[in-house]
Structure 1
Amino acid sequence: MKAFWNRIYDSFTAKLWPLPLLSALVAAVMAVILVEIDIPSEAWLSAYLWPGDAKAASDMLSFIASTTMTVLTTTISMTLIVLQVASGNFSHQLLRDYIQSPAVRGIVAVYVAVFTYAVLVLRSLDSDNKLPPQLAVTVAMIWIFIAVATFIWYVSKVVDMVRVDTIINASVKRTMDYSADATAEDEERAPFPRPTIPEDARRVYADEFGYIQRIDLTGLEKWAKKYGATVVVDVRPGDRVIAGQAVARYWFDPSLAQFDSDEEESRDLEEFRQKDASEVEVDLPSFLSLDLERVSGEDYSLGLRQLLDIGVRALSPGTNDPTTARHVIGQSASALRQLVLEPPCPQVRFADVDEDDTAGRGRLLVWSAVRTCPEMVAAFVSQFRRYGSGEPGVLVDLLQTMELLEENTSDPELLNVINEQRASIVAAAKRQLEDEYDLRMVLTAAKTEASVHEPPPDEGV
C-alpha cells in the first residue's frame, strides 16, 4: 500500500499534468456554482459587478478564452526552449527539476483554469436573457488579472532559471538539504558497519532496469522481524540496477520469528521457530521503487552529479568555459565540506531491545548501504581532473578544495583518497602544462617539494 501511495505522489510531483488537471476541476466547480448565484440590483456588491448585457459578456468571455489559449501556447514554447537550453548547455539531469518548478507548473495550471472557467461560464449564457450571471463574469475578469500577473512572474523566473549561477546554487543547496537527512543525527541511521554475510545467505535480484528512487525499509523491517530474518541492501537511491543484478542478501534465524497475535492463532509459531534456516520458504517482498531516470530526494548525490555535468560540459572543446567550471568547483566545495563534517551513515533498523540486552539495542533487522564521502569526493575530483588537466586554474581550485576537506576530516579512507587525487593532479599538470608559470602555480597549490614556499602567483583576472 505504501508503494502505491509513493507512486501516486511521484506522479503528482514529477509530471506536468496533475496540477493543471486539479486546477481545471476547481475552476469547473467554481463556474458551475457562480453561474447559479444571482446578486440583486439593490445589493451593495452589484455596483462592482459586470455592468454589461449578455452579448457583451459573451464577447468578453470569448476574448478571455482565445487569449488564454494563445498565451498558454507561447508559454509552452518558452518552456520547451528553456528545457532545450538546460539540457544542451548544462545537464540533462535538470529536466525533471524544471518540470517540477513552481513557475512552469503554476502558469500552466493558472491558464488551464482560466480557460476552463471562461468556457463553462460562456456555455451557461442564455441569449434570451439580457442579464448574464454578473458575479461569474466579474470573477472571470479577476482571473485575467491573475493570469497576467502569473505570466510576468513566469517570465522573470524563466530568465532566472537559465542563469548558470542560479542552476549551480540550486544544485548545491539541494545536495546540502538532502544530505542533512542522511547523517547520524537521524534516529534511523548509525555508523554501523556492514554485517558479515553468512555462506547460506540468499540473494535478491532486480527484475528490471532502472534507477532507484527509494527503498522501502519499513516493509523490510516488518518482514525481517516477523520471520526472524536479517536483510542487507547493497544498493542505494540513485544507483542504476540491471535486470538480474544482485541488490540484497538475507538469511533466517527462525527461532527469532515474531508473528502477529492474530497469526499465532492460525499458524503454529513454535513449529516455525523449530525449523532449520534452510527449510524456510519465504520470499523477500518487493522493496525497490525504480524509474528510468534519477530523481532528487533520497538520492542526495544527484546534486553533485548535476554539478559535475555542468562543470565537465563547460570544459568540453565545444564550450571552452573554464570560468564556469571553476565556479562549479568553488560552490561545490561547500556541499562537499558539509558531507565531510556530517558524513552520511547507513540506514539500520534494529529489533526491540530486550531487558537482558547489554548492547543497548536489539538484533539487526535491516542494513542499507549509503554513498560514502571518499566515494563522492573521488568521483567529483577525478572527472574535473581528467577533463580540466590543461587548465591550471581548474587544477588549483581542485587542490584548494581538497585542502579544505583535509582540514575538516580525520577519516583515514578519505585522507587516502585526497592524497591519491592530489598526486594525480600533480602528475596531470606535469604532463599537460607546458608553461613553467602555470606548472609552478599548480605545484604551489599542491604544496609539493618542488613548490616555492610563497603564496600562489596572482592569476590576474
Structure 2
Amino acid sequence: MSDWMVTQSSSAGRRPRALSPLREHLRDTFWFAPTAAMVSVFVVWVGAQALDTAIVDALQEDRDYETLDELLRFAEDAKAVVSAVGSAMMTFIGVVFSISLVAVQMASGQFTPRVVRLFVRSRITKATFAVFLATFVLTLLVLTSFDSVEDPRAVTSVPLVQSVLTLCMVGLSLLLFVLYVNSTLRLMRISHVIARIASESFRVIASTPVPAVGQETPGLDAVTAWVPHEGRAGVLRDVHVARLVRAARRHGVVLRLIPRIGDFVVPGMPVLAVHGGPVPPRRVLRYAVSVGVERTYHQDLGFGLRQLSDIALRALSPAINDPTTAVQALDRVVQFLAALSRRPLDAALHRDRAGAVRLVQPVPDWTELVDLGFAEVRGCAVDSPQISRRMLAGLDDLLLLAPPERREPLLRHRELLRQAVDLAAPTASDRDFALRPDRQGIG
C-alpha cells in the first residue's frame, strides 16, 4: 500500500451523502418520475376538491345563489374542455413514446448501445412523460367531480379550482413538449451526445476524492478477513461509501474494495478485504455493494472513456465510415485525459470524521486510462489519416501537460501509431501526411 498513488477526501470531516447511490439508481429508472407525478397530482387534486367544496359552502351560507348559478354554467363549459384534454393527452403520450423509441433506436444503431442511458436519464424526457400522465390522471379525477345537479341550492361542489389547475397542467404540458422535442433532436446529433458523455465523465472526476495537502498514504495492516459477494452476478455499479465508512469506524477496521467499479462479480467472489480486526456483521454490510446489468457513470471513472472509444470505433467501421465523428470523440478523450494528467490515481481513500482511513477504493491508473482512450482507436487509425493526425496532435498536447513520470504510455502510443502508419502507407508522402499532427484531423 505504501507505493500507491492515492486520492483522499479534501476534508476529513466531510462525509459522502448517504442518499447518493439511491439518487443515482433512481435516475437510471424510468418509472419513478411518472409514478411520483401521478401520486402528487392525486394529492393536489384532493386539496383542490376540498377548496372547491369550501367555496361552494361559503357561497351557500351567504345565499349568493346568483354566483353559484354562474359557477354551474362555467362548470358545463369546463367539462367539455376537460373531456377534450383527457382524450388529447393519450394522443400526446403516444407521440412522445414513438419519438423516444425512434430516437433510441437511431442512437444505439449509429453511436453505441451505451448511449441509451442518456435517453433514460434525460430529465426533460422524464418530466414530459410525468406531466403528461399526471395531466391525464387529473382530467379523469376532475371529471368525477362534476355535479349533475342544476339547482344552485342543492349543488355540493363545483370544480372551479380543479378546472383551472387542469388548464395550467395543459399549458405546462405544451411547454414541456416543445422542450422535449428540442432535447430529443439534440440527443440525436452525435456532437451533443459526445458532449453529454464528457459532461457526465467530468462529474465523476469532480466527485472523486482529491488529495489533501500534507497528508500521506498510511500503510494497511494484514488482511484479517474477506467478505464474499452474496448477491446476484453482475457489474459492480457502485458502493455505499458512507455506510462502509460508518461500519468500519464502529468496528475499528479498514475495508478495502477488491474489484473496481465496472468489474463483473459473481457470487462467492471476495469484494471486501478487512484489515486490522474482525469482519463487521453481514447485516451491517448489507446493501453496501450495488450490482446491476450494466455500468453507470456513478463512481466509474473509466465508463466515459469506454463510451467515447466505442463511438470512435463504430464511426471508423466500414459500415459507417465516419472519421469526423471519431475525431470528435478523440477531442473529448484528450480533454478527459488532460483533466486527469496531474491528478493522483490508482486508489481513493475515504476517511471518517476523525480523519482515519476507513475505506480504500481502487480506481484505474494513468496507464490504463490512456490505453482505454487510444489503444483500440489506434488500431483503426492506420486506414484514416484524419484519425492518425488528430491522435498525434492529442498525444503531443498531453505530453506537454503530463508530468515526466506519466509520459511513457503517451510516448508508447505515439511510437506504435508511427510504426503502424509506416507499414500501412504505400508511399513516403502518404506517411508524411498521415503523421503530421493536426487538431482537426484534416483541417
Q: TM-score normalised to the size of structure 2?
A: 0.81
Distance 1:130 1:144 in 2: 30
Distance 2:146 2:173 in 1: 23
Match of 1:206 in 2: 229
Please tell me the residue identity of whatever aligns with 2:271: V
TM-superposed deviation, 1:197: 7.3
Cα 1:457–1:125 shift into 2, 3 Å:
closer
Distance 1:91 1:66 in 2: 37
Cα 1:457–1:377 shift into 2, 3 Å:
closer
TM-superposed deviation, 1:401: 1.0
TM-superposed deviation, 1:156: 1.2
Distance 1:116 1:345 in 2: 51
TM-superposed deviation, 1:443: 3.8
Match of 2:307 in 1: 306
Match of 1:173 in 2: 199
TM-superposed deviation, 1:69: 0.6
Match of 1:289 in 2: 290
Conserved 8 A contact 1:50-1:135: no
Conserved 8 A contact 1:205-1:247: yes
Distance 1:423 1:143 in 2: 61
- Pairing partner for 2:419 from 413, 427, 447: 427
Match of 2:88 in 1: 67
For the residue of structure 2 that corresponds to 1:124, the secondary structure is coil
Deviations 1:38-80 (A, max 9, x none): 375999xx8xx97845443332221110100111011011111
Distance 2:365 2:207 in 1: 14
Distance 1:10 1:460 in 2: 40
Paired residues, number: 409
Cα 1:192–1:88 shift into 2, 3 Å:
farther
TM-superposed deviation, 1:340: 0.7
Match of 2:11 in 1: none
Match of 2:391 in 1: 398
Please tell me the residue identity of whatever aligns with 1:371: P
Cα 1:458–1:99 shift into 2, 3 Å:
closer
> Is residue 2:139 matched to residue 1:118?
yes
TM-superposed deviation, 1:346: 2.4
Deviations 1:375-400 (A, max 9, x none): 11111110111223211110121111
Any unmatched runs of 5+ in structure 1? 254-279, 354-360, 446-455
> Is residue 2:151 matched to residue 1:127?
no
Deviations 1:243-269 (A, max 9, x none): 34333323435xxxxxxxxxxxxxxxx
Does 69-78 or 126-135 show the bigger shift? 126-135
Match of 2:274 in 1: 250
Cα 1:282–1:33 shift into 2, 3 Å:
closer
Match of 2:409 in 1: 417
For the residue of structure 2 that corresponds to 1:341, the secondary structure is coil
For the residue of structure 2 that corresponds to 1:366, the secondary structure is strand
TM-superposed deviation, 1:369: 1.2
TM-superposed deviation, 1:318: 0.7
Distance 2:436 2:48 in 1: 74
Cα 1:20–1:64 shift into 2, 3 Å:
same
Cα 1:31–1:56 shift into 2, 3 Å:
same
Match of 1:342 in 2: 343
- Pairing partner for 1:370 from 350, 363, 371: 363
RMSD: 3.4
For the residue of structure 2 that corresponds to 1:212, the secondary structure is strand
Cα 1:435–1:170 shift into 2, 3 Å:
farther
Does 135-144 or 319-328 show the bigger shift? 135-144
Please tell me the residue identity of whatever aligns with 1:404: D
Please tell me the residue identity of whatever aligns with 2:135: V
Cα 1:68–1:282 shift into 2, 3 Å:
closer
Q: Which has the higher contact order (CA 8 A, sep 6+)?
A: 2
Conserved 8 A contact 2:260-2:362: yes
Please tell me the residue identity of whatever aligns with 2:112: S
For the residue of structure 1 that corresponds to 2:128, the secondary structure is helix
Does 69-78 or 9-18 show the bigger shift? 9-18
- Pairing partner for 1:219 from 243, 252, 257: 243
Conserved 8 A contact 2:388-2:441: no
Match of 1:154 in 2: 180
TM-superposed deviation, 1:282: 5.7
Distance 1:109 1:395 in 2: 46
> Is residue 2:67 matched to residue 1:26?
no
TM-superposed deviation, 1:27: 1.8
Match of 2:6 in 1: none
Matches within 5 A, 1:16-55: 16-36=30-50, 37=52, 38=55, 52-55=73-76
Match of 1:269 in 2: none
Distance 2:416 2:268 in 1: 36
> Is residue 2:441 matched to residue 1:440?
no
Matches within 5 A, 1:79-98: 79-98=100-119
Q: Percentage identity across aligned positions?
A: 21
Deviations 1:409-445 (A, max 9, x none): 2252x31111211121112112222243331124444
Does 81-90 or 107-116 show the bigger shift? 81-90
Conserved 8 A contact 1:179-1:344: no
For the residue of structure 1 that corresponds to 2:341, the secondary structure is helix
Please tell me the residue identity of whatever aligns with 1:421: H
Conserved 8 A contact 2:21-2:240: no
